[in-house]
Structure 1
Amino acid sequence: MELPFEVGALYNRQRQIHGAFGGQQQGGISTPKEHPLVIAFTGEAGVSHGYHDFWDDDEIFHYFGEGQVGDMKYVAGNRAIGEHVKDGKTLVVFQMMGKGRPYRYLGRFMCQSSYVQPGTPDREGQPRSAIVFRLRSLEASLGLAASETDQAEIDAANDDMAATTTRRETEVRTKQRLFRERLIGVEKGCRLTGIEDLRFLRASHIKPWADSTHSERVDGENGLLLAPHADLLFDRGWISFSASGLLLVSNGLPSDVRACLGLNLDESVQRGIFSQRQLRFLEFHRDVVFCMYQRPHT
């Protein structure tokens, strides 16, 4: 079915989602009566109920079903997800951005199977059996571009492998896509501009692709979401972040360029909290990438 949503964009749940299609306005799964649609919501709210949706290495999204207390049942919204293909309904997923915030559209998905995960704590902390759905995205991307350096390195790697290579090229692009999928579960938006619409952001590795191990390349915590001009500065080492979340600006960044960028580069402003894994990657960025430009511009 035709949907008025663009992958990566932000929408008001009550007005733009339920206002257009109906369905339950609370909870993690909505099943509009008048439209062949199942709407699933993913995000931090699930953590309070003892589970956390995630992407596995095969780009399958593991989505925990609904039911806050006791064993989950294969009824209502859970059945709607599991049987959406059989019922002729389109399954779409939105990401919660926080209480009172808009929701990010992640696109159309297909449920491939489900499994039961025992020992999952419920809202009251009691162990129960949770239903987890294996969902595959039907979108080519999440509306999020790779950083400039990442893309150049990927293209170069593909050129080097030209003789061997359709399979290897597919593997490289799959890793980059998986990194982006995992990154949006870690970072909500650009720490310099506040932009959260993925159509206007890039997925930037903290520890560059070329220096990362295979596992680091697909680790969402080895990344930041940045507006293109902020990504360029970070990617090329003109800026970085301290362990306390303060912005660091290279003394080699030309003052006239800095004045014209339109970015708030105030180094006294706290830019948010980083996870422990992000801090380890940022240490590499400061020591290897950022330090290259710690010299006066000539």
Structure 2
Amino acid sequence: MELPFEVGALYNRQKQIHGVFGGQQQGGISTPKEHPLVIAFTGEAGVSHGYHDFWDDDEVFHYFGEGQVGDMKYVAGNRAIGEHVRDGKTLVVFQMMGKGRPYRYLGRFICQSSYVQPGMPDREGQLRSAIVFRLKSLEASLGLAAGESDQAEVDAAFDDVGATSARRETEVRTKQRLFRERLIGVEKGCRLTGIEDLRFLRASHIKPWADSTHSERVDGENGLLLAPHADLLFDHGWISFSSNGRLLVSSELPSEVRGRLGLNLDKHLRREVFSHKQLFFLDFHRDIVFESRRPRFQ
């Protein structure tokens, strides 16, 4: 079915999602009666119970079902996800951005299978069995503008192995896509501009691709979501971030350029804290990438 949503864009749940299609306005899975649609919401709700949805190395999204107390049952919303293909319904996923905030549209998915994960805590802290769905995105990518900006990483990867085959390029782009998919579960938006609409953001590695191990290249915590001009500054070492979240600006960045970019580089960074792994990667960025921009004196 045709949907009025664009991948990466933000929508008000009550007005723009349920106001159009109906369905339950609370909970993690909504099943509108008048439309062949199943709406799943991913985000912080599961984290508060000790687990979270995640992308595996094969780009399959593992989505934990609904049910707050006791073992999850294959009924209601859980059944709707598991049987959406047989029922002729489209499955879409939105990302929760926080209480009172809009929801980010991640696109259409298809449920491939499900499994039971024991030992998961429920709302009361008791261990129970959870139903987890394996979902595959039907979108070519998550709509991040970063796709086109990663050509330098593709070229660097070819230089590393001395190959330019189509197969190698496909592998690199697949890893880049997995990195972006994982990154949006870590970062909500640009820490400099506050933009959260993915259509206007790029996925930037903190520790550059060429310097990263295979696992670091697809680690969402080795990244930041940045507006294009902020991404350029960060990628080339014109700016970095301190461990306490303060913006660092290279003294070699021309003052005229600073002004014309329209970024207030003197303001304090958005206050979301960095994770421990992000801080580890930021140490590398400050010491190697940002440091290379500092003046050298003979």
Q: Pick the TM interval, shorter chain.
A: over 0.9
1:112 corresponds to 2:112? yes
Q: Which amino acid aligns with 1:133?
A: F
SS in 1 for 2:262: coil
SS in 1 for 2:173: helix
- 1:146, distance to aligned residue in structure 2 (A): 2.6
- 1:166, distance to aligned residue in structure 2 (A): 2.7
**Are the structure 2 counterparts of residues 63 and 270 from structure 1 closer, same or farther at C-alpha, using a change threshold of 3 Å?**
closer
Distance 1:203 1:21 in 2: 31
* Percent identity of equivalent pairs: 85
- 1:139, distance to aligned residue in structure 2 (A): 0.5
Aligned to 1:33: 33
Distance 1:270 1:21 in 2: 35
* Greater shift in the superposed pair: 45-54 or 72-81: 45-54
- 1:267, distance to aligned residue in structure 2 (A): 5.5
CA RMSD of aligned residues (A): 1.5
**Are the structure 2 counterparts of residues 24 and 244 from structure 1 closer, same or farther at C-alpha, using a change threshold of 3 Å?**
same
2:194–2:270 contact (8 Å) kept in structure 1: no
1:194 corresponds to 2:194? yes
Aligned to 1:161: 163
Distance 1:41 1:268 in 2: 32
Summarize the alignment of residues 46-57 of structure 1 with structure 2, pairs less than 5 Å apart: 46-57=46-57
Distance 2:174 2:59 in 1: 8
SS in 1 for 2:278: helix
Aligned to 1:81: 81
SS in 1 for 2:48: helix
1:257 corresponds to 2:257? yes
- 1:157, distance to aligned residue in structure 2 (A): 3.4
1:247–1:271 contact (8 Å) kept in structure 2: no
- 1:171, distance to aligned residue in structure 2 (A): 1.2
Aligned to 1:211: 211
Aligned to 1:141: 141
* Aligned pairs, number: 294
> Structure 1 unaligned runs (5+)?
none
- 1:295, distance to aligned residue in structure 2 (A): 1.9
SS in 2 for 1:161: coil
- 1:158, distance to aligned residue in structure 2 (A): 4.6
1:232 corresponds to 2:194? no
Summarize the alignment of residues 260-275 of structure 1 with structure 2, pairs less than 5 Å apart: 260-266=260-266, 268-269=268-269, 271-275=271-275
2:60–2:136 contact (8 Å) kept in structure 1: yes
2:191–2:226 contact (8 Å) kept in structure 1: yes
Q: 1:12-64: per-residue Cα shift (whole Å, max 9, x none)?
A: 00000000000000000000000000000000111123320000000000000
> Structure 2 unaligned runs (5+)?
none
SS in 2 for 1:49: coil
1:248–1:267 contact (8 Å) kept in structure 2: no
Q: Which amino acid aligns with 1:126?
A: Q
Q: Which amino acid aligns with 1:8?
A: G
- 1:147, distance to aligned residue in structure 2 (A): 7.3
The normalised TM-score by structure 2 is 0.95
Aligned to 2:290: 290
Q: Which amino acid aligns with 2:4?
A: P
- 1:167, distance to aligned residue in structure 2 (A): 2.4
Q: Which amino acid aligns with 1:257?
A: V
- 1:143, distance to aligned residue in structure 2 (A): 1.2
- 1:270, distance to aligned residue in structure 2 (A): 5.6
Distance 1:268 1:83 in 2: 48
Distance 2:241 2:33 in 1: 48
- 1:155, distance to aligned residue in structure 2 (A): 3.5
Aligned to 1:131: 131
Q: 1:164-196: per-residue Cα shift (whole Å, max 9, x none)?
A: x33222211110000000000000000000000
Distance 2:293 2:203 in 1: 22
Distance 2:158 2:50 in 1: 41
- 1:156, distance to aligned residue in structure 2 (A): 4.8
